[in-house]
Structure 1
Amino acid sequence: MAQRRLDEPTKADLEKMAAGIQANTRVNLASLDGTSAVGHFISATRCIYRYAVDTGWIRPVDNPARQLTMPTRQPSPRYAIPANQLSEIWTVAATTGNDADLDALILRLHIETACRRGGALALRPHDLDPDQCLIYLREKDGTDRWQPVSPTLMRHLLEHAAERHSPRSGQLLRYRNGRPITSRRFDHIWQRIGQCRRSSKCRPVAREGLWI
């Protein structure tokens, strides 16, 4: 296909390419059986041919991409975590590991605000408004917002910042030695949760946590 002129491929050729892309798509929870990859392929192909028509390289009638049909969008496989599973996850995170207080705070932050990992890492003490129980989140694609939180979460965020000496304009979430956490902490949390749920030797110790 790479050696052919732009006006040589037919609709059947492009459909064959799309089928090959779908068949060889890497399978994961977000792949939707390859239909998402096919949709991106068709969008990109249409864009290329639209540009070719606009610049006069080919005639509109020679544009095979306009005849391609977008695959039907499938329902997302994502779903809310059931309450009992969420409780198990939080219990393991808040009662095991080398810094259970930090991990419990991280999970509580995500549960209440639904922020992304980047939003949690970008949070600063300066972003906390304890009077109105608001935190300022800065997330991907320039999405910034004030997010209401519970008085309990606000109190723990303030205590965390004070105890771990977080600079007012620096990263809030930190280890006990004052070093800011990185995205690896999130990986560590989920690896530990997965290992603990699979192991009968894991016995979380009851303690007062952030649900109080």
Structure 2
Amino acid sequence: MRARVLLAEATALGVTIEDLVAVSGDAPNVASIPTLAEYVVTVGPSFSKGTADTYMSYWRLAVERLGECPIDRVGVDDCEAVVGDAVARAQRNRPGSEGRSARENCIGALRALFARAERAGLVVRSPAVGLDKPRRLANRRRALDESELGEVIDAVRTTSQDPDLDLLLVRFHLESGARREGALNLRVRDLDQRRSSVWLREKFGIEREQPVSPSLMRALEVHRNGREGLGADDGVFRSGRGRAITRRRYNTLFDRARPCLSWAERTPVSAHVLRHTAITAV
């Protein structure tokens, strides 16, 4: 009886038994379907470094919740649960946060992952497509004026546990107009003393030479020499323990400084704002 109902529905849709047989012949063997954890390990390295750095923490959340689940069995509700984990983590790390950015980034990470799986024929349709991204708020970013810059510098100097490093980062972005990736990817070999310039490797694989002042170049050299044992391919910006900084450094830097700035609720302070200030002043 069920077979007759199925056949009637297929006929109504214009699908023949031959079509179903052909599709089933092309379908991957159940044994060949990877778990979500296996697929992240396999496909993660194929993304660009910038994309992988942005999305990996969200993929890890997905693995924690759904790692043993075959990737073709993951549904939209499963994805929504992972997004909920990302929002909860953001709210723990930043009390008072609504987690909008975490939700947006997590959905982007899941969509990117399942789009690859769909393209590979491992899933019929990405379950992440059904997730609703939050509407973007109006951009409040603007260039800081001279007085506000002074307040930012004072706040960083007062609240930082490594003021030499954090003040140098602020200065680097203000002078070079570099994106955050430009600082994170800056290597010792990218410092050109003779030309007083740095070689930036930034978002979307863009590379460029950026002139900087001789005094900033000297400050970068002093910082580099203070972190012993660096090779030509090692990152320039390092903590007092000698570890290369990560995105988390920026979160810590500005999270500590922000409460000291009365206007920070209206104008978020970040590396992006410093860059915007630099390129606006040119």
Q: TM-score, normalised by structure 1?
A: 0.57
Which runs of structure 1 show a deviation greater than 6 angstroms over 4 or more consecutive aligned residues? none
- Aligned to 1:93, the other structure's residue is in SS state helix
| Alignment counterpart, residue 180 of structure 1, candidates 240, 244, 250 | 244
Give 1:197 deviation, angstroms.
Answer: 2.8
Could you give the per-residue CA deviations for residues 172-195 of structure 1, whole angstroms, max 9, x where no partner exists?
Answer: 100111111111010111111112
Q: Match for residue 199 of structure 2?
A: 136
Q: Match for residue 43 of structure 1?
A: none
Give identity over the alignment, percent: 40
How far apart, CA to CA, are the structure 2 residues paired with 1:92 and 1:152? 22
Q: Match for residue 177 of structure 2?
A: 114
Q: In structure 2, give the amino acid aligned to 1:142.
A: G
| Alignment counterpart, residue 224 of structure 2, candidates 158, 161, 165 | 161
| Alignment counterpart, residue 149 of structure 2, candidates 86, 94, 107 | 86
Give 1:27 deviation, angstroms.
Answer: 4.1
Q: Match for residue 71 of structure 1?
A: none
Give 1:25 deviation, angstroms.
Answer: 4.8
How far apart, CA to CA, are the structure 1 residues paired with 2:222 and 2:193? 12
- Aligned to 1:84, the other structure's residue is in SS state helix
In the alignment, structure 1 residue 28 sits paired with structure 2 residue 137: yes
Matched length? 129
- Aligned to 1:137, the other structure's residue is in SS state strand
Could you give the per-residue CA deviations for residues 118-176 of structure 1, whole angstroms, max 9, x where no partner exists?
Answer: 11000011100111110000001121111000111100101111111232211110011
Bigger proportion of residues as helix: 2
How far apart, CA to CA, are the structure 2 residues paired with 1:146 and 1:126? 13
How far apart, CA to CA, are the structure 2 residues paired with 1:29 and 1:106? 27
How far apart, CA to CA, are the structure 1 residues paired with 2:212 and 2:158? 23
How far apart, CA to CA, are the structure 2 residues paired with 1:163 and 1:78? 34
Q: In structure 1, give the amino acid aligned to 2:170.
A: L
Decide which moves more: 85-94 or 138-147. Answer: 85-94
| Alignment counterpart, residue 213 of structure 2, candidates 150, 156, 168 | 150
Q: Match for residue 205 of structure 1?
A: none
Q: Match for residue 51 of structure 1?
A: none
Q: In structure 2, give the amino acid aligned to 1:96.
A: T
Q: In structure 1, give the amino acid aligned to 2:173.
A: H
How far apart, CA to CA, are the structure 2 residues paired with 1:191 and 1:85? 16
Alignment root-mean-square deviation, CA: 1.7
Q: Match for residue 59 of structure 1?
A: none
Unaligned stretches of 5+ in structure 1? 1-23, 31-76, 199-212
How far apart, CA to CA, are the structure 1 residues paired with 2:232 and 2:240? 17
Q: In structure 2, give the amino acid aligned to 1:28.
A: L
In the alignment, structure 1 residue 196 sits paired with structure 2 residue 260: yes
- Aligned to 2:261, the other structure's residue is in SS state helix
Q: In structure 2, give the amino acid aligned to 1:169.
A: D
Cα 1:91–1:157, aligned 2, differ >3 Å: closer, same or farther? same
